[in-house]
Amino acid sequence: MQDRPAARRAERPNRHPGACRDAGPRAGVAPGMRRRGLLLLAAALPGCSVLPNRPYREVERFVLAPERPPGPPPPRSGQVLLLRTMRAAPGLEQRGLRILGARGEVTLQFWSEWTAPPVDLTEEALRRWLLASGRFRAVTAPGSRLRADLILEAELTRLQAEPAEGVARAGLSGLLLDNGSAENRVLGQFPVEGTAPLPGGAQPEDRLAPADAAAAMSAALGMALGRLERALGGAIGAGAGGGRVAGRR
């Protein structure tokens, strides 16, 4: 006769860790209710997404490369101009188009930007502009082995559209130094500004097309570059008359 403890052990189900458990439905939960709950959970998942449901918007990029007006250039001199790395006023190192509001606030158009930081594009435009002017034998950058007769330090002080006024403005500041003197004598300091009309004239800020703003700012920069060139020419002529600036052959 089998003892009672042994009989109880024989009646107990296998509970060791490797044993399989009953995979049937839980007690008190009908299979239909479980399926319905899963469907409701799946329907609620899209509402839990943290990504905004917004359409894709492509960024517009514009080139800042004002063209020099046609005309006969002055006779090319034998002077070499070193254009140092251009500085930028606060905010002008960012690519977004700058729009001045009616209350004086400046906003950046993050969906409309220049192809590069405007200070970099302006430096390259100034170098090409001065080289095409015919006033210099070469316009070099820092690190060039070519000995410079003159040094130009420049800063981009303003580049923005002002729809309330219907204009775009660009500002530059230049400092011309004589590299032939021991102390790099200052030949002149030139704050210049250029303006250009916005298509459509004065208008609300939200009606200004980014392409129109970029085109007007590029034209305003071209005017500022032309004024800076003329100021440099006057200072160089005055310096040459005094015997301080002479090109090296």
**pLDDT tens-digit map of 30-79:** 666 666 666 565 555 555 555 566 677 799 999 999 999 887 766 667 79
Angle (CA) 162-166-171 rounded to 5° is 50
Are 245 and 79 in contact, with CB atoms under 8 Å apart?
Answer: yes
Rounded Cα–Cα distance for residues 147 and 78 (Å): 12
**pLDDT tens-digit map of 98-129:** 999 999 999 999 899 999 999 999 999 999 99
Token pair, residue 129, equals: 């502009």
Domain 73-241: give its CATH superfamily.
Answer: ABC-type transport auxiliary lipoprotein component (3.40.50.10610)
Q: What is the pTM of this model?
A: 0.75
Rounded Cα–Cα distance for residues 215 and 222 (Å): 11
Residues 6+ apart with CB under 8 A from 126: 83, 86, 154, 172, 225, 228
Rounded Cα–Cα distance for residues 135 and 151 (Å): 14
